[in-house]
């Protein structure tokens, strides 16, 4: 299996695991009376699965994006090219006064 596909699958699985933990915390803390709504409804299990799945999509996408951005090369040495800050030197400005008439 290619490394990128393996990376994608593991990061998506980790995102869905984080989603499961997030939904569990929501239910334990009874945020917005969510636990009572899910336990008191006939389709509470479907609602729970939808909350987990939708959050899983978001967390998986963020987790994969974070993993991809972490693959960038890290520059240890000094940067080349134009320096970020320029040395500041005062500029001399000649001002001629106008004579009063």
Q: Is residue 21 part of a domain?
A: yes
CA 68 to mean position of chain CA atoms: 12
Domain count, the chain: 1
Please tell me the predicted confidence (pLDDT) of residue 100: 64
> For a pLDDT cut of 90, what percent of the chain falls above it?
67
Tens-place pLDDT, residues 32-69: 999 999 999 999 999 999 999 999 999 999 999 999 99
Between residues 80 and 30, the one the model is more confident about: 30
Range of the domain at 63: 3-70
Please tell me the predicted confidence (pLDDT) of residue 9: 96
Q: Is the pTM of this model over 0.75?
A: no
Q: Is residue 96 part of a domain?
A: no
Nearest Cα residue to 57 out of 30, 93, 19: 19
Q: Is residue 75 part of a domain?
A: no
């Amino acid at each position: 299996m290619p490394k990128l596909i393996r990376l994608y699958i593991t990061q998506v699985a980790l995102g869905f695991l984080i989603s499961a933990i997030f939904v569990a915390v929501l239910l334990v803390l009874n945020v917005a009376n969510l636990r009572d709504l899910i336990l008191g409804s006939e389709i509470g299990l479907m609602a729970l699965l939808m909350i987990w799945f939708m959050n899983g999509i978001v967390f998986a996408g963020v987790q994969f994006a974070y993993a991809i951005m972490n693959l960038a090369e890290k520059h240890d040495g000094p940067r080349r090219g134009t320096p970020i800050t320029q040395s500041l030197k005062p500029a001399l400005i000649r001002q001629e006064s106008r004579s009063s008439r």
